A and B are shown apart, each in its own frame.
Chain A
Amino acid sequence: MPIPAQALRHEYLRHNKKFPHVWCPGCGNGIVMGALLRAVSRLEIDKDEIVLASGIGCSGRMPTYLDFNTLHTTHGRALTFATGVKLANPSMNVIAIMGDGDSTAIGGNHFIHAARRNLNLTAIIINNSIYGMTGGQYSPTTPFGSKSTTSVYGHIEHAFSIAELAVTAGASFVARATVYHADLIDRLIEQAINKRGFAVVEVISNCHIQYGRRNKLGGAVDMLTSFKEQAVSVSRAEKMSHEELEGKTTIGVLADREIPISTEEYKKVREQARAQKEKV
C-alpha cells in the first residue's frame, strides 16, 4: 500500500517554498522526487538523518523543495560534497542527486572515482539525455543522430550507458529504471539506501521540452509510452540476443555485490596505527 501523496506533501516538502515546482508540466524529475520520498518514508528514516546533495541543472532544484539536510552545490560536484559529508559524519544517510550532464560530463571523474572508492553513498542519476536547463545542448548520453541546439544536423558522437559505467567502475549496487516504472524506482532507491557501499540508481527520464520536441518524440505522455515499450527487465534481457536488445533499455538490478567500504577500512587503518604507536 503506497503512502498517500497528501501525507508526503505535508511531511517532506518545505512549506515556505513556492509550489507547484519550477519543472515543466509532465517532467520526470517530479516523479523521481515522489519515488524518493516514498522510499524514505517506507524506510522510516528520520528527516534529520538524511543529507541530500545536488549539483546544477533541473535535478539540482530538488533539494530546494525537500525538508532534509540539503546542499545545492556547484556543477558536477554533488558527489564531492557528499563524500565530504560522509567522511565527516559517517552516521548520516547521504544521497546525491544528479543529472546526466552533471554526473557524467563535468562530474565524470568524481563519479567514477566515487564508485571505485566505494563510500557508503547513494547516487540517484536522472538521465534525460540532454542539458535541459541551460537550453538543450547535447550531453554525454544524447543518442547518436539525435538533434539538440548544439547538434542541429544530428549528433555525431555516441552515447554511453551510465549504469554500465558504474558497474565497470566498481560500484557495489547498480540499478536502472525509467520514470514509467515509478514503483520500481522507489523499490530500487529503498534497496540502494539500505545497501552498504556505493549505490547507483539511474533513472531514464523524459525531457519532452528540450529533447522530445527537437526530435519529434511528442509530449510527456508519448515519451512515457515509449519508455514502456523500450524497457526490458534484466531477467528477460538475459534470454534475448544482441540484435533483439538493440534500442532497448534494461531495467532492474544490474549489479549487487559485497565490497569492503572505504570508511570502515579507514577506521581499521587508524586503529592499527594507534596500536603500533602505543607499542613504541
Chain B
Amino acid sequence: MVFSHRPDILLFTVFSGNKMTEKSSKKKATAAKAARKKPVKKKKHFDVSFYHDWCKACGICMAFCPQKIIKADKNGKPGIVNADKCVGCRFCEIHCPDFAITVSERKQKKGASDV
C-alpha cells in the first residue's frame, strides 16, 4: 500500500499495486505447477558429421531432414546450418547410400562443468 496526501493518486497506486502482485503470484503458481508435473529435461544436442570424400551429393539428406537444417554448399555437398536444432532422428544417417553421415550425441566438453 502506498499512501499519499492526494486521494486520486492513492487510488491509482493502490489499484496498480494490487494488479502487479496478482500477476506475479499467478506466474509463480504456474511455474510451481510445471515444476511439479515434470522435471525439467535437458535438451539433447546432436552433432552431424559429413565425410565429404565419400559423399556424391545425391541430396537425400537435404530433402528429407525434418528440421531442414542440412543445406548444400557451393559443390552441392551437405553442411549443417543450425546444429542445435537437430532432433537426432538419424534419417540422414540411415538413408545415406555412401556411409558418409554420422550422427552422434554431443558430449560435454572436458572441464566445462568445473568452471
Query: B63 near A8 (CB under 8 angstroms)?
Result: no
Given contacts A25-B56, A31-B94, A34-B97, could you give 4 more A-B pairs where the C-beta distance is less than 8 Å? A35-B94, A38-B94, A180-B95, A182-B95
Query: A2 near B93 (CB under 8 angstroms)?
Result: yes
User: Hey, which chain B residues are within 8 Å of A247, CB to CB?
Assistant: none
User: Hey, which chain A residues are within 8 Å of B64, CB to CB?
Assistant: 221, 224
Given contacts A4-B93, A4-B104, A38-B94, contact A25 B58 (CB under 8 A): yes
Given contacts A2-B93, A5-B93, A220-B58, contact A13 B102 (CB under 8 A): no
Minimal Cβ-Cβ distance residue in A for B58: A26
User: Hey, which chain B residues are within 8 Å of A31, CB to CB?
Assistant: 94-97
B residues adjacent to A (C-beta < 8 A)? 49, 53-60, 63-64, 90, 93-104
The contact of B90 among A2, A221, A224, by CB within 8 Å, is A2
Specify which of B60, B64, B96, B101 lies most central, judged by the most chain A CB atoms within 10 Å of its CB: B60
- The distance in angstroms between the C-alpha atoms of A4 and B49, with both chains bound, is 11
Query: B94 near A183 (CB under 8 angstroms)?
Result: yes
Query: B96 near A30 (CB under 8 angstroms)?
Result: yes
User: Hey, which chain B residues are within 8 Å of A2, CB to CB?
Assistant: 90, 93-94
A53 at interface by CB-CB < 8 Å = no
- The distance in angstroms between the C-alpha atoms of A24 and B93, with both chains bound, is 18
User: Hey, which chain A residues are within 8 Å of B98, CB to CB?
Assistant: 20-21, 30
Minimal Cβ-Cβ distance residue in B for A2: B90
- The distance in angstroms between the C-alpha atoms of A219 and B49, with both chains bound, is 24
User: Hey, which chain B residues are within 8 Å of A26, CB to CB?
Assistant: 56, 58-60, 97
A29 at interface by CB-CB < 8 Å = yes
CB distance from B75 to the nearest CB of A (A): 13
**Could you mark each residue 194-238 of chain A with 1 if its beta carbon is under 8 Å from any beta carbon of chain B, else 0?**
000000000000000000000000011100110000000000000
- The distance in angstroms between the C-alpha atoms of A37 and B56, with both chains bound, is 20
User: Hey, which chain A residues are within 8 Å of B95, CB to CB?
Assistant: 31, 179-180, 182, 224
User: Hey, which chain A residues are within 8 Å of B96, CB to CB?
Assistant: 5, 30-31, 34
- The distance in angstroms between the C-alpha atoms of A29 and B96, with both chains bound, is 10
Query: B101 near A5 (CB under 8 angstroms)?
Result: yes
Query: A25 near B104 (CB under 8 angstroms)?
Result: no
Query: A34 near B94 (CB under 8 angstroms)?
Result: yes
User: Hey, which chain B residues are within 8 Å of A29, CB to CB?
Assistant: 97
Nearest 5 A/B pairs, CB to CB: A30-B97, A26-B58, A25-B56, A25-B58, A221-B63
Query: B102 near A6 (CB under 8 angstroms)?
Result: yes
- The distance in angstroms between the C-alpha atoms of A31 and B56, with both chains bound, is 14
Query: B99 near A4 (CB under 8 angstroms)?
Result: no
A27 at interface by CB-CB < 8 Å = yes
Query: B59 near A220 (CB under 8 angstroms)?
Result: yes
